[in-house]
């Protein structure tokens, strides 16, 4: 998936099966390290924190 440049996500973050609507929700949450279909994964805990959509 190509990430629009105006979302400001760094290239080291992973995006799989993510809709534009989910990316819009994720804007402004710098702790997000990964976005998967249905969940935003953030933080460095083990397990990491997840926000299920």
In this structure, the number of other CB atoms found within 10 A of the CB of residue 40 comes to 21
Per-residue pLDDT at 2: 46
pLDDT tens-digit series, residues 5-37: 445 554 445 556 666 667 766 776 666 666 666
Per-residue pLDDT at 51: 64
For residues 23 and 7, the answer to whether their CB atoms sit within 8 Å is yes
Residues in contact with 30: Cβ distance below 8 Å, sequence separation at least 6, in sequence order: none
């Amino acid at each position: 998936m190509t990430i629009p440049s105006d979302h400001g996500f760094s290239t080291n973050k992973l995006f799989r099966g993510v809709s534009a609507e989910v990316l819009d929700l994720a804007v402004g949450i710098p702790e997000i390290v990964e976005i998967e279909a249905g969940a935003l994964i953030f933080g460095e805990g083990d397990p990491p924190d997840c926000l299920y959509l």
